[in-house]
Amino acid sequence: MFDIGFWELITIALIVLIMVRPEHLPKLAKDAGKFLARLRNFIYSAKKELAKEFKIEEINELQNSINHVDRLMQNSPDKKIIEENNDDEKIK
């Protein structure tokens, strides 16, 4: 994902060891784990919400398609012929 190699990881670990004293590393690791857990939960919730929204969009698209077909059926030539015949019978 980030395309980080072995030597880059070693360099980052050495920098962390220099900047953070060794006795603080367990707390740092615990806090990083909590942060990653929260991040995973957030991403999971966001994916779930987006999936829910996309289903709503699909339903709206389906409703629009149904409405379009209904309009086409109401404007179909055979329907107009039947309406014209009914109008002619009403005039007589």
Per-residue pLDDT tens digits for 21-38: 888 888 988 998 999 999
CA atoms within 13 A on the CB side of 70: 6
CA dist 24 and 18 (Å) reads 12
Is residue 69 a part of any domain in this protein?
Answer: yes
List the domain range (segments joined by +) for residue 74.
26-91
Is residue 13 a part of any domain in this protein?
Answer: no
CA dist 19 and 17 (Å) reads 6
pLDDT of residue 90: 64
Per-residue pLDDT tens digits for 29-73: 899 899 999 999 999 999 888 888 878 778 888 889 999 998 888
Domains: count for the chain = 1
Per-residue pLDDT tens digits for 77-86: 777 677 777 7
Is residue 19 a part of any domain in this protein?
Answer: no
Confirm if 79 and 73 have CB atoms less than 8 A apart. yes
Residue 18: enclosing H or E segment and its boundaries? helix 6-19
